[in-house]
Structure 1
């Protein structure tokens, strides 16, 4: 699939319209995983580097907060919410592979520095990915505060350590606090997923505002609720596998999901009328 060179129209970053959402099959998320793995195989060293960085970050969080439940919960919640931002260079790699361009360390450096270097030429788009990342961080903070209030109010004893949580919340008899906690987490995670699943690769690829990217992401989810629910389930399931493997599994899982997210965006959103934000050679 090649990116269109069609000139931007009124649906571009200066307009109020949203790009069309393309039809997809119910099992399309499985195809995204397969494409993500293919991209991983085409650039294994740099892809593995992303997974390694996040695996080390997760291990550091667990080591620092292993005996402090709320610090651990907050750290891992923030880790999961900010991960799409940190995967930005994985999207850039998949785009370069799609275009037949070189995938190297210079591509990663350009991806993370051109936002700042081109500030004077494009001030309206400066750090839009970072701004969106801050919004995700606020969402993670809101979840931790809400979760803490729920457990503090209804747990039979104060919860200080992960073992306290397992004994008195997860394994408690005649107490539905854990089920309520999971349900609340799902309710709060759903809008975060809907807001971010398409936004990050779209912000990298096209000159749109954060609001346009978020609304496009919601439009994609509402247009294809069942396939996107499957995609959310796959992301959560693989992420939990990564955590259960003492974060070692994230070395493979993170790049596979990151590359797969690029293909989810490309196969669902028609961006032919939106102006490109960056050329393959880093010209912002």
Structure 2
């Protein structure tokens, strides 16, 4: 990746796609944990941003008696996680290149320079996607439960055990899984690819989807690992995310490196 912030940079060639195996996931997680243990501060910083952001969201919801929104926000919260991990990708990139010493501001400098590249456009894709999911979850709730429930759900959550509530949870979970996997396919390698290479965000997303199509079993397994570890980390008041998010962020870089063959 070029750190040059001025002047024209020639576009990179699109990398070729590798055949992956399930063992790549195990190796990526192992290397992700290793990177986190070597340079934990940056991973903890970005995890803290997510955890504190989650606490603020839920405090606002409960303060304004809108607890019912906690369900779609809980399932939608991990959708914005990939963009938060850009700094973690940069740490793994440097460790992979043999660099061991740098100042923390250098990582923030790399992130800051992305404002003139393609990553901000990808962030808008993720944000719009997340907002659409929140709107869809709200619409689904009203469709199954009726608008009257929106005024009194704060007193009891027994409505979720009613037939309408159970159907809503079933349909919402199914649609949520589809939403999450589509976003996963668009971003699984596109974000680290845009960090390292000079490509437009559309090409990066197409390449990411192509990786998923080439390795469907491995990518489904990787998506399941991300979802399982993330929700497990969210369970104890989000505290588990201080370990889960950095390790998954570093591991995502290593999945990217195993998914693509660089040509330049």
TM range (shorter): 0.7 to 0.9
Which residue does 1:272 correspond to in 2? 263
Measured in 2, the distance between the counterparts of 1:184 and 1:64 equals: 26
Displacement of 1:77 after TM fit?
5.5
Paired residues of 1:46 and 1:104 also in contact (CA < 8 A):
no
TM-score between both structures, scaled by the size of structure 2? 0.86
Paired residues of 2:47 and 2:242 also in contact (CA < 8 A):
yes
Measured in 1, the distance between the counterparts of 2:178 and 2:232 equals: 22
Equivalent of 2:21 in 25, 42, 62? 25
Structure 1 residues 13, 154: closer, same or farther in 2, change over 3 A? same
Measured in 2, the distance between the counterparts of 1:71 and 1:173 equals: 20
Paired residues of 2:85 and 2:249 also in contact (CA < 8 A):
yes
Measured in 2, the distance between the counterparts of 1:69 and 1:228 equals: 34
Equivalent of 1:145 in 110, 123, 135? 135
Q: Which moves more between the two structures, 202-211 or 41-50?
A: 41-50
Which residue does 1:119 correspond to in 2? none
Which residue does 1:80 correspond to in 2? 78
1:23 counterpart SS class: coil
Displacement of 1:176 after TM fit?
2.1
The reply to whether residue 239 of structure 1 matches residue 230 of structure 2 is yes
Structure 1 residues 78, 147: closer, same or farther in 2, change over 3 A? closer
Which residue does 1:105 correspond to in 2? 104
Structure 1 residues 72, 19: closer, same or farther in 2, change over 3 A? same
Equivalent of 1:59 in 37, 55, 59? 55
Structure 1 residues 130, 165: closer, same or farther in 2, change over 3 A? farther
| 1:11-50 mapped onto 2 (5 Å cutoff) | 13=11, 18-50=14-46
| 1:1-284 mapped onto 2 (5 Å cutoff) | 13=11, 18-66=14-62, 67-69=65-67, 71-73=69-71, 75-76=73-74, 79-101=77-99, 102-116=101-115, 126-155=116-145, 158-159=149-150, 166-169=157-160, 171-173=161-163, 175-273=166-264
Measured in 1, the distance between the counterparts of 2:95 and 2:155 equals: 47
Q: Which moves more between the two structures, 174-183 or 205-214?
A: 174-183
Q: Which runs of 5+ in 2 are unaligned?
A: 2-9
Structure 1 residues 150, 270: closer, same or farther in 2, change over 3 A? same
Number of equivalences: 251
Structure 1 residues 162, 19: closer, same or farther in 2, change over 3 A? farther
TM-score between both structures, scaled by the size of structure 1? 0.81
1:245 counterpart SS class: coil
Paired residues of 2:76 and 2:130 also in contact (CA < 8 A):
yes
Measured in 2, the distance between the counterparts of 1:256 and 1:163 equals: 36
Measured in 1, the distance between the counterparts of 2:93 and 2:67 equals: 39
Displacement of 1:167 after TM fit?
2.3
Measured in 1, the distance between the counterparts of 2:170 and 2:72 equals: 19
Residues 244-275 of structure 1: per-residue CA shift (max 9 Å, x gap): 110111111110010000001011111223xx
Paired residues of 1:91 and 1:258 also in contact (CA < 8 A):
yes
Structure with greater helix share of residues: 2
RMSD of aligned residue pairs (Cα, Å):
2.4
